[in-house]
Structure 1
């Protein structure tokens, strides 16, 4: 899920939490998020002005998201983590959303280790959440931590068997663990729900090639002198 999509989800949560963020602040956050798509520099300036006017959580979130859109992903990620841990960070759901946004920003910044820490903290707030497990698995995959990724994806699919992206990611883990039959099974399951996904089609080709090479090795063992 994109960071701006996550921001919209976070906004929906904030609108229902009137004890934490009032309707006026929610409207201002919505306007700021919309501006990020058009002019992130101006959105950042608006966020700073809003922060100086009262340092509200919405202002800090807007500023952090604008920084991410401006290519300063690590700074934006760190600010979202601070917001999640702040006294006025809001409800558990809101804090979890800030951490999700932060984790995805860390991934964009090429810092999967930091993303794993952040997603793990989000899972402490919202355990057994399939999307969060898939997010953390993606960070493990970036680091080549195939077994750790598979554990997260196994749980995600136990909770939500129809998640195509989880099947795709687990196929990648299976492939790198040389579990080729399991990799193909996951690829085929992913294609049932999303047959036109280019990444899955490319992955299917890689799995097929790995199976072909494994069969060649079996049929043509090395000759030992």
Structure 2
């Protein structure tokens, strides 16, 4: 059975690196922006905080806001918000191209975008390419970001995810092993992906150790439960696998992981003796 570790991070995780939202004031800015857009009255006050805050529940509104802002000289922040709005709206390919272009153009033109922010933009580009189903371009984005900020953990994880999507479990396993050895407190997704890579290479005991570590930190992590179920199924523990996948459905019934758990449960039900 195939692992289904999500190739796309949640948008709030991305936005947290790009801009720190200003709580209630940002929500007031969203309301003001929508009122101005609807009425056409009053002087528009452009704000990256307002634009980013709109994306989660109104990506099309954020897209239009960002486009209008660009027409009024919004520059880099407007382009960034526009790309993330497209990503949330489901136009991953265009979003990835815009994010890549933004990171590369600022580098070429000597823009003063801090290396940390440029790395974030390339991590977002990598995630967008993965969501678009183009892992080779995701790897290229991650590689460029790492050339700007070597050792960036988010980019290392994004690169490993792109390698797994290209069936390069061997290289992903090497890089993730190095990452978790040097930084034991690294993101849980690194341990989950390492378990996936090891499982794909037939190293089931090591895979179980790493996914168990992830679940020790976050017992209800759906991606970790999904992966442990796959490992258990590979080890012949059908009951344990079924239990993990059912827990995924109970915890996150509308998630990508739940979709994959349903598929795995259906395969198991159809052929309970399958390896």
What TM-score comes out, normalization by structure 2 length?
A: 0.67
Offset at residue 115 of structure 1 (A): 0.6
Corresponding position of 1:33: 52
Q: Distance in 1 between matches of 2:200 and 2:69?
A: 48
Q: 1:171 and 2:195 equivalent? A: yes
Single out whichever of 101-110 and 190-199 deviates more from structure 2. 190-199
Instruction: Name the one with the larger helix percent.
Output: 1
What TM-score comes out, normalization by structure 1 length?
A: 0.81
Q: 1:118 aligns with which of 134, 138, 141?
A: 141
Could you tell me whether the CA contact under 8 Å between 1:133 and 1:155 is conserved in 2? no
| Root mean square deviation of aligned Cα | 1.9
Could you tell me whether the CA contact under 8 Å between 2:11 and 2:56 is conserved in 1? no
Q: Distance in 2 between matches of 1:208 and 1:69?
A: 34
Corresponding position of 2:233: 209
Q: 1:59 and 2:53 equivalent? A: no
Corresponding position of 1:188: 212
Residues 36-51 of structure 1 mapped to structure 2, 5 A cutoff: 36-51=55-70
Q: Which runs of 5+ in 1 are unaligned?
A: 13-26, 214-225
Could you tell me whether the CA contact under 8 Å between 2:163 and 2:169 is conserved in 1? yes
Offset at residue 204 of structure 1 (A): 2.1
Q: Which runs of 5+ in 2 are unaligned?
A: 1-8, 21-45, 238-275
Q: 1:151 to 1:48 in 2, by over 3 A?
A: same
Corresponding position of 2:221: 197
Corresponding position of 1:80: 99
Corresponding position of 2:118: 95
Offset at residue 89 of structure 1 (A): 6.0
RCO greater where, 1 or 2, for CA within 8 Å and sep 6 or more? Answer: 2
SS where residue 144 of structure 1 aligns? coil
SS where residue 127 of structure 1 aligns? coil
Structure 1 runs (4+) deviating above 3 angstroms are none
Could you tell me whether the CA contact under 8 Å between 2:79 and 2:102 is conserved in 1? yes
Q: 1:48 to 1:198 in 2, by over 3 A?
A: closer
Could you tell me whether the CA contact under 8 Å between 1:131 and 1:156 is conserved in 2? no
Offset at residue 33 of structure 1 (A): 0.9
Offset at residue 211 of structure 1 (A): 2.9
Residues 151-170 of structure 1 mapped to structure 2, 5 A cutoff: 151-163=174-186, 164-170=188-194
Corresponding position of 2:273: none
The number of residues matched between the two structures is 199
| Partner deviation per Cα, 1:70-119 (whole Å, 9 max, x = no partner) | 21111111111111112236121121111111111111111111111101
Single out whichever of 189-198 and 142-151 deviates more from structure 2. 189-198
Q: 1:202 to 1:46 in 2, by over 3 A?
A: closer
Could you tell me whether the CA contact under 8 Å between 1:4 and 1:33 is conserved in 2? no
Q: 1:46 to 1:202 in 2, by over 3 A?
A: closer
